[in-house]
């Protein structure tokens, strides 16, 4: 029996896996699957008849009926049979999911996959109007006849009339209908010209012209457009012209857009130009600028056993300064020619300035099945319309805008309209149960598969075999489902084929081909590695998911950005790369159908590079059309870098740091992103949120805190002195900063046995608010009192005990807050426990809830009676502040006002952290804006990760901000002194040029004098003794005298003398040449060069050759005199120019250096006075 059952299950498994693989191929027709589905269904039915339902079992008491300590009832467990050993099969859960089983009644029926197709595009079940029919038909081209059929209209003309400006006929496609969102995008200027031409013959296209006029952004000119070397809209020919006109050289420039790679190949001599340094030439600097690379100079240092490349800081500073000057000259040169200006402005407007702001209109959508008491806000309807009608969407609505409901409605609506067959919603693990609850509240009759406490394998199997309105899983479950190797290799084959087409087309020239071939080699190696891996049991592709909806998508923005520039990194996470791969695979299969929707309330945290990440996810086609799909090309269009020279306050060390400093062309960037994103701030939504007040509580540090923070300065000194590089177990700046933050919160966290003044202040404030509002009442509840959230990312409970959380709870209890009403979120370890805890908060059973930003600040809905939010410590990012405060400042909070309280310990890291957060928040606020702004708004400052310098830590440690000012002033002085030293190279070079030109002038004047004298003595009738001289030379060559260097072989010639001698002299002749010297008396006048083989011929021929050369010299003597005189004059001009430089040159930044030195001296004097005349040690 066991063997027979195992064989039956194995046969059913094989049939099911074959059917699943076929279902996953959405290109296969339903008719192709009939036979496979029938086979699997028959084997399932046969098994049930012979053995019973697949999921049969019985309910038994666990542990012999011993009562559960919490419920007092025996614990029960569902016991399944062994199934002939099949439960050990890796596909066991897939087979179990072939059946829908009711354990209460024992009724079993085949899963949907055994009855009909559950993967692929679903036909729209019902549409309510022509707008929904349009979404159901997809795009970009539209079948109006099908739209009419779905909407119940008589014909295509009726559908066109109903749709109005939602569709346009495209003259490029012979009048085919296109969706407005696609027709009014891209190169709208060229499309407008074609529409105007078509309108001359068909008046129907006049509406196209009018719509394209509205969709075309205003043209930008040279005063508006930010420029940088390497911008992809600037042609290689323009760079070549820049080299020719400004640098005075000749180059061939190759550009490979797909790799953002530029190559500069010299075709002539390297020009003498000011845009060079002692170590790097102009072309090296130009190539660095084009490729967004820092021009860094290295020295090779010999150490025992190896050579090391060490950065030469001074030469690197010089290179950075010269590259900056080269960039500035390029920016001005670009607009100096009218034809070039017109052409480049047109190209920028065509490729970058192509988008106008648009909003989707969801007012015409219907939501059948939505609970009658659920009313969607307008922005929720709009984003649902965008999700179901766009390939990819970023929904960046403010915290509290109802994103969860928008996600659920997007999934259900996409499936109803046939825009997707199986949507999957991925949320943080702690929000799975909450999301499922909201989904069922919104759609009571909806079919939702929720992966809460189910094993991942079972979730995947039920998802693959079932029919669901949406599948709700955790981020971890989504990342744990691998992409099918065959799907990934097929995707890689497509990328390889594209690169091979670029090679065949000669993109980027010879250098470009080598870059492309390296990329192909890497992709082929990756494909081979994938092919060698065994196929997983259940893959992402097997699920049949065709629309990914990801909540809290900011957890996935750490894509590995490839850039040649320094200072650009978001880190790297596998789950971000995994999501991008899945999104790219779905987009390749789905085309213009919806495949990805990202939801987050905090799209920006640190840097503008995050914008590139969002665009990579949701609008790769837009980036490719603009030629900026590589980060370096994108940055060349939108990012300005700065090179910061950081010098330790005692000037003992210097380092260079390059980082993004400003964002340029901001309006175009905003509009480009807004084409695929819906970004709304709270003020844009008009949400009914309670007003709030803010206050800061400043705490005095304890003596132990002061001493500990002071000790951090000594640690910093040691790190700098010993050049610690973060060895495992060693001290480093990150550890210092972490200890500084902990010490600011609670001295006991760093081993200082003193109570925290901040913990005391928090307990006082929380207890006061608790007692003041103890009798506050709320509608629908008999429980009185308010809730307060206390956020603290340090000192959380863990293996070391309750730490700061425990001390704060004890302090609150001592002040009369009931201990049982003080909870921390870390106590709830499962979704069920979290749901119960949050329900208790809403109902009033909890008065104070403590938690960290990650555990309490994201997706937590406890706002009903939330009166106050306490920031006990400062997080790293402004987005964390927004998430924290968003728990209270959201609809549904019944409190009349919310208090936001921040706590700062004086003289610690707290003040610095809050100042940095304020600076970052200002930058992010500008990115949220969607209006074009004024011309002055075309650039905004960027911010990056918070990294404390040695000086900043030392200033915080001592509590003396003058130390920080001294460090900044010393850095400025050191940098300017280095530049002055480099500038002095100009004077040194001028002195060398003066000395060389003076010597050259003297040489040329002496030569001119001898040539003129020779011209006076030249006699055409004088005797010619060259034959004898040649004969003597030939004899000496046959029998050289090795004992000495004989005198030259002289001969009279036309009143002058001629000497013959091997080049290099008799002792060390060089090459195959003979010097023919012309003399006047014993002084040399000039010299000619003859080939030695010529002299070795017959004596007569050699004599004739020598005479011929001499006669030719005599015939051109006047020209030679003129040439030498001109060379003497040029040398004279060069000497005068060098002398002028020496007489007039001054360091242009000398006044700035003098002012910086005065400021440094003033600060140093103030520091010495502050410490009683003792000069402080500046770290």
Helix (H, G, I), strand (E, B) or coil at 306: strand
Nearest to 208, CA basis, from 251, 168, 254, 260: 168
Query: For the CA atoms of the chain, what is the radius of gyration?
Result: 40
**Highest mean pLDDT of the ranges 102-116, 317-331, 779-793:** 779-793
- Minimal CA–CA distance to 1077: which of 1093, 1063, 1098, 1097? 1063
Chain mean position to CA 777? 49
- Alpha-carbon distance 402 to 441, whole Å? 14
The three-state (H, E, C) secondary structure of 1106-1145, written as one string: HHHHHHHHHHCHHHHHHHHHHHHHHHHHHHHHHHHHHHHC
| CA separation for the pair 1093, 941 (Å, rounded) | 73
Q: Which residue is associated with the tokens 């020719």? A: 244
Share of the chain above pLDDT 70, in %: 83
Residue 235 has pLDDT above 60, yes or no: yes
What pLDDT does 901 receive?
93
* Mean pLDDT on 110-135: 78
- In three-state secondary structure terms, 95 is helix
The CA-based angle 942-946-950, given to 5 degrees, is 120
pLDDT of the residue at 919? 66
Q: What is the pLDDT of residue 847?
A: 94
Q: Assign 1172 a pLDDT band (cuts: 50, 70, 90).
A: low
Report whether pLDDT(960) > 80. no
- pLDDT category, 651, cuts 50, 70, 90? very low
What would the mean pLDDT of 1015-1039 be, rounded to a whole number? Answer: 69
**How does pLDDT run across 835-866, given as a tens digit for each residue?**
888 889 999 999 999 999 888 877 788 889 99
Report helix, strand or coil for 251. Answer: strand
Burial of 1116 (0-12, 13-18, 19+ CB in 10 A): exposed
Position 478 pLDDT exceeds 80: yes
Paired sense of beta strands 866-871 and 787-791, if any: parallel
Please report the pLDDT score of residue 953 as a whole number: 47
- Whether the pLDDT of residue 786 is over 90: the answer is yes
Residue 1024, both tokens: 């010619």
**How far is the CA of 171 from the CAs of 140, 637, 919, in angstroms?**
14, 32, 50
Average pLDDT over residues 432-447: 87
**Among candidates 814, 810, 809, which has minimal Cα distance to 788?**
809
Token pair recorded at residue 1149? 């930044």
Q: How would you class 350 by CB atoms within 10 Å of its CB: exposed for 0-12, middle for 13-18, buried for 19 or more?
A: middle
Please report where in the chains the tokens 């106008």 appear, as a residue: 356
- In the predicted model, what is the mean pLDDT of residues 765-779? 93
DSSP assignment of 550-595: ESSGGGG-------SSTT------HHHHHHHHHHHHHHHHHTTS--
Which pLDDT band holds residue 615 (cuts at 50, 70, 90)? very high
**Cβ neighbours for 77, distance < 8 A, ≥ 6 positions apart:** 59, 60, 61, 62
**What's the CA gap between 73 and 386, in Å, rounded?**
51
Residue pair 1004/1130 in contact by the 8 Å Cβ criterion: no
The Cα 77–Cα 90 span in angstroms is 23
DSSP per-residue letters across 1046-1112: PPPEEEEETTEEEEEEETTTTTS--TTEEEEEEEETTEEEEEEEEEHHHHTS-HHHHHHHHHHHHHH
In the structure, what pLDDT confidence band is assigned to residue 1018 with cuts at 50, 70 and 90?
confident
Give the C-alpha separation, 599 to 403, whole Å: 7
Taken in order of first residue, the domains within the chain and their CATH numbers are 2-114 (no CATH), 124-216 (no CATH), 236-299+315-351 (no CATH), 692-706+752-940+947-958 (3.40.50.300), 995-1143 (no CATH)
Give, as one character, the DSSP assignment of residue 246: I
pLDDT tens sequence across 195-207: 999 999 888 899 9
How far apart CA 778 and CA 613 sit, in angstroms, is 44
Tokens of 1051: 């001969």
Q: What is the pLDDT of residue 510?
A: 66
428 in Cβ contact with 717 (< 8 Å): no
Mean pLDDT of the chain: 81
Half-sphere exposure of 869 (CA within 13 A, CB side): 29
pLDDT in tens, 143-160: 898 888 888 889 988 988
CA 899 to chain centre: 37
Instruction: Round to whole Å and give the CA distance between 1074 and 1109.
Output: 12
> Cis (ω within 30 of 0) for the bond into 140?
yes
What's the pLDDT at 1040?
58
Query: Which residues are within 8 A (CB) of 698 and not within 5 positions of it... i.e. 6 or more apart?
Result: 904, 905, 906
For the chain, the farthest-separated pair of C-alpha atoms sits apart, in whole angstroms, at: 139
Is pLDDT at 450 greater than 50 in this prediction? yes
**pTM exceeds 0.85 for this model:** no
Q: Which of 235-239, 321-325, 402-406 has the lowest mean pLDDT?
A: 321-325
Query: Could you tell me the sign of the dihedral formed by the alpha carbons of 931, 934, 939, 944, in that order?
Result: negative
What pLDDT was estimated at residue 1170?
63
682 versus 727: the higher-pLDDT residue is 682
Predicted local confidence at residue 71, as pLDDT: 46
């Amino acid at each position: 029996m066991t063997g027979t059952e195992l064989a039956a299950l194995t046969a059913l498994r094989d049939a099911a896996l074959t059917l699943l693989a076929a279902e996953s191929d959405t290109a296969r027709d339903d008719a192709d699957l009939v036979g496979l589905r029938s086979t699997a269904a028959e084997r399932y039915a046969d098994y049930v008849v012979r053995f019973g339902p697949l999921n049969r079992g019985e309910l038994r008491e666990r542990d012999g009926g011993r009562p559960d300590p919490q419920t007092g009832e025996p614990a029960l467990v569902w016991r399944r049979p062994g199934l002939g050993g099949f439960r050990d099969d890796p596909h066991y859960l897939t087979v179990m999911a072939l059946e829908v089983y009711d354990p209460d009644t024992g009724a079993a029926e085949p899963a949907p996959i055994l009855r009909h197709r559950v993967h692929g595009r679903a036909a729209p079940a019902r549409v309510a109007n022509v707008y929904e029919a349009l979404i159901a038909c997809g795009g970009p081209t539209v079948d109006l006849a099908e739209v009419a059929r779905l909407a119940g209209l008589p014909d295509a003309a009726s559908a066109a009339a109903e749709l109005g400006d939602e569709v346009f006929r495209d003259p490029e496609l012979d009048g085919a209908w296109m969706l407005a969102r696609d027709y009014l995008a891209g190169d709208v200027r060229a499309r407008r010209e074609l529409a105007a031409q078509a309108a001359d013959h068909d008046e129907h296209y006049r509406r196209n012209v009018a719509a394209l006029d509205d969709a075309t952004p205003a043209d930008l000119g040279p005063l508006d457009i930010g420029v940088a070397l390497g911008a992809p809209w600037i042609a290689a020919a323009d760079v070549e012209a820049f080299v020719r006109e400004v640098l005075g050289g000749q180059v061939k420039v190759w550009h490979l857009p797909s790799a953002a790679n530029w190559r500069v190949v010299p075709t002539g001599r390297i020009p003498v130009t000011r845009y060079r340094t002692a170590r790097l030439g102009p072309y090296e600097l130009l190539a660095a600028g084009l490729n967004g690379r820092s021009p860094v100079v290295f020295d090779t240092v010999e150490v025992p056993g190896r050579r090391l490349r060490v950065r030469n800081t001074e030469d690197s500073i010089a290179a950075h300064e010269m590259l900056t000057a080269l960039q500035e000259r390029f920016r001005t040169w670009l607009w100096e020619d009218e034809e070039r200006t017109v052409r480049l402005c047109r190209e920028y407007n065509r490729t970058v300035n192509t988008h106008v702001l648009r909003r989707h209109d969801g007012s015409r959508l219907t939501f059948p099945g939505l609970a009658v008491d659920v009313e969607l806000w307008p922005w929720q309807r709009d984003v649902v319309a965008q999700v179901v009608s766009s390939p990819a969407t970023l929904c960046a609505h403010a915290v509290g805008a109802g994103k969860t409901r928008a996600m659920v409605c997007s999934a259900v609506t996409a499936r109803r309209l046939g825009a997707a067959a199986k949507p999957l919603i991925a949320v943080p693990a702690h929000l799975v149960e909450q999301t499922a609850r909201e989904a069922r509240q919104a759609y009571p009759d909806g079919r939702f598969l929720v992966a809460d406490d189910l094993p991942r394998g079972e979730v995947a199997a039920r998802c693959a075999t079932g029919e669901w309105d949406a599948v709700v899983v955790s981020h971890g479950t989504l990342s744990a489902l691998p992409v099918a190797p065959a799907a990934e290799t097929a995707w890689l084959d497509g990328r390889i084929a594209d690169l091979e087409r670029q090679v065949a087309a000669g993109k980027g020239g010879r250098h470009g081909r080598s870059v492309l071939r390296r990329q192909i080699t890497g992709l082929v190696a990756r494909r081979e590695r994938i092919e060698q891996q065994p196929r997983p049991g259940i893959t992402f592709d097997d699920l049949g998911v065709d629309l990914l909806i990801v909540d809290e998508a900011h957890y996935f923005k750490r894509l590995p950005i490839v850039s040649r520039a320094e200072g650009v990194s978001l880190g790297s996470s596998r789950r971000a790369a995994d999501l991008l791969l899945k999104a790219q695979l779905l987009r390749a299969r789905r085309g213009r159908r919806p495949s990805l929707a990202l939801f987050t309330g905090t799209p920006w945290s640190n840097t503008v590079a995050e914008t590139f990440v969002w665009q990579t996810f949701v609008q790769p086609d837009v980036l490719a059309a603009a030629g900026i799909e590589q980060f370096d090309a994108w940055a060349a269009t939108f990012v300005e870098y700065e090179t910061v020279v950081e010098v330790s306050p005692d000037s003992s060390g210097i380092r260079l740091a390059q980082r993004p400093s400003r964002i340029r062309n901001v309006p175009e960037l905003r509009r480009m992103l807004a084409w695929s994103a819906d970004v709304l701030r709270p003020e844009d939504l008009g949400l009914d949120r309670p007003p709030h007040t803010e206050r800061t509580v400043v705490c005095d540090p304890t003596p132990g805190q002061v001493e500990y923070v002071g000790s951090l300065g000594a640690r910093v000194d040691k790190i700098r002195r010993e050049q610690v590089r973060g060895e495992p177990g060693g001290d480093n700046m990150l550890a210092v900063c972490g200890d500084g933050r902990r010490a600011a919160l609670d001295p006991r966290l760093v081993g200082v046995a003193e109570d925290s003044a901040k913990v005391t202040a928090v307990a006082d404030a929380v207890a006061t608010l608790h007692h003041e509002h103890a009798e506050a009442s709320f509608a629908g509840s008999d429980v009185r009192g308010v809730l307060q959230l206390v956020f603290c990312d340090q000192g959380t409970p863990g293996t070391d005990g309750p730490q700061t959380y425990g001390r704060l709870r004890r302090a609150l209890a001592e002040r009369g807050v009931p201990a049982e009403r003080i909870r921390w979120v870390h106590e709830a370890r499962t979704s069920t426990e979290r749901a119960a805890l949050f329900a208790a908060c809403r109902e009033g059973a909890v008065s104070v809830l403590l938690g960290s930003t990650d555990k309490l600040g994201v997706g937590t809905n406890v706002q009903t009676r939330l009166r106050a939010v306490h920031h006990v410590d400062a997080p790293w990012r402004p987005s964390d502040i927004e998430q924290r405060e968003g728990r209270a400042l959201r609809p549904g909070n019944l409190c009349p006002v919310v208090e936001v309280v921040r706590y700062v310990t004086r003289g610690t890291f707290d003040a610095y952290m809050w100042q940095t957060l304020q600076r970052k928040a200002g930058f992010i606020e500008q990115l949220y804006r969607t209006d074009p702004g004024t011309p002055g708004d075309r650039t905004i400052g960027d911010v990056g990760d918070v990294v404390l310098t040695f000086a900043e830590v030392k200033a915080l440690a001592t509590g003396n901000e003058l130390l920080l000012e001294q460090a900044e002033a010393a850095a400025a002085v050191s940098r300017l002194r280095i530049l002055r030293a480099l500038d002095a190279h100009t004077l040194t070079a001028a002195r060398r040029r003066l000395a060389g030109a003076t010597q050259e002038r003297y040489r040329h004047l002496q030569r001119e004098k001898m040539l003129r004298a020779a011209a006076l003595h030249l006699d055409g009738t004088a005797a010619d003794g060259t034959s004898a001289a040649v004969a003597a030379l030939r004899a000496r060559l046959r029998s050289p005298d090795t004992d000495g260097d004989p005198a030259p072989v002289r001969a009279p010639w036309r009143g002058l003398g001629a000497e013959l001698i091997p080049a290099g002299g008799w002792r060390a002749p060089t090459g195959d040449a003979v010097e023919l010297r012309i003399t006047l008396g014993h002084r040399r006048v000039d010299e000619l060069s003859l080939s030695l083989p010529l002299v070795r011929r017959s004596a007569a021929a050699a004599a004739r050759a020598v005479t011929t050369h001499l006669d030719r010299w005599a015939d051109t003597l006047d020209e030679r005199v003129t040439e030498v005189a001109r060379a003497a004059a040029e040398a004279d001009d060069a000497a005068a120019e060098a002398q002028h430089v020496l007489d007039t040159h001054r360091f242009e930044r000398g006044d700035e250096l003098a002012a910086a030195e005065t400021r440094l001296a003033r600060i140093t004097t103030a520091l010495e006075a502050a410490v009683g005349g003792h000069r402080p040690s500046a770290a």
